[in-house]
Structure 1
């Protein structure tokens, strides 16, 4: 079983960010480590993602691959299935 490295770009008081984070923390499969980056702490992150958060990326071979946006209404099972699909590398 593979272990993946994910980064969640988010910002304070973002309900979509909070919702995705809660779901990611509840998942037990696939196995991944999650780094949370507050875009308000670095100007380059803010400029890149201020209108886009939450952004979920996979770190793969030293590169960041932006994953397609997840529906805020997605169930845990749907999120798990999508991650399984997207993290196939």
Structure 2
């Protein structure tokens, strides 16, 4: 599974989600690759996500992105793991 995280530097919500994704991966229950995209590096990403980050997307086999439901920052890691299992 390929995940894309739209983020930007010094975004505490983004850092929190990255930490939770790393915890899920360390459990070895879900295998995924994570690409982190800095919205400041691409004007289209910035225009689309500047008020939405962090935005987590699933990249399909056809290289199409599907936005995953927004993950509340205070939710436990297990909830994120459950969400990802639905898409794996």
Can you give the 5+ residue segments of structure 2 that lack an aligned partner in the other structure? none
TM-score between both structures, scaled by the size of structure 2: 0.90
**Displacement over 2 Å in runs of 4+:** none
> Which residue is equivalent to 1:8?
5
> Which residue is equivalent to 1:25?
22
> Which residue is equivalent to 2:73?
72
More strand by share: 1
> What is the distance in 2 between the residues matched to 1:62 and 1:32?
15
Superposed displacement of residue 56, structure 1? 0.3
Please state whether the residue corresponding to 1:30 is helix, strand or coil.
coil
> Which residue is equivalent to 1:50?
50
TM-superposition CA deviations, 1:10-51 (whole Å, max 9, x none): 011111101000110111321100000000111111001000
Q: How many residues align?
A: 84
Cα RMSD (Å): 1.0
